[in-house]
Amino acid sequence: MPRPTSDDVQLILRLYELRRDPELRRARAFMLSEFNPKSWEEIRPHYLTGDEVDRHFRMATSYWEMVAAFVNRGLLDEDLFFDTHGEDMVVWKKVEPIIDGGRKHIRPTWLWNLERMARRHLAWRERTYQSANTIIKAGSRLGARKPRPR
């Protein structure tokens, strides 16, 4: 597995910097706390209206779709990204119930990058957490030293 580069680190830091933009911050907060549709039909009346729901929804999803494209195309080290992020998974879980309707209404590939990355991120978590649990259950925490007998 290739090691992350300093360019990967710089891109992650730049992505975090973008997330500090006040409008994107509001959009992300909306997605994380208020956005809970059960179907596309709940979103459709807002889509492309320019209202607050539309602006926040499109800004947050387009941000994560862009980030996912970077990861999917190998422009950002996947393991490093997965190791340092989790919001992408929350956003994916929020849009998953509306994805089929959105793809019919917008385009068949809508949020395809986010979906592909989320699938791999979930598999990565399962592998990583399984390995971590094995280590913890064995009683040997990474970086922890066993006390020396006196």
DSSP for 1-44 reads -PPPPHHHHHHHHHHHHHHTSHHHHHHHHHHHHT---SSHHHHT
pLDDT in tens, the chain (150 residues): 678 899 999 999 999 999 999 999 999 999 999 999 999 999 999 999 999 999 999 999 999 999 999 999 999 999 999 999 999 999 999 999 999 999 999 999 999 999 999 999 999 999 988 877 777 777 655 555 555 565
Ramachandran angles phi, psi of 47, nearest 5°: -60, 125
pLDDT of residue 150: 57
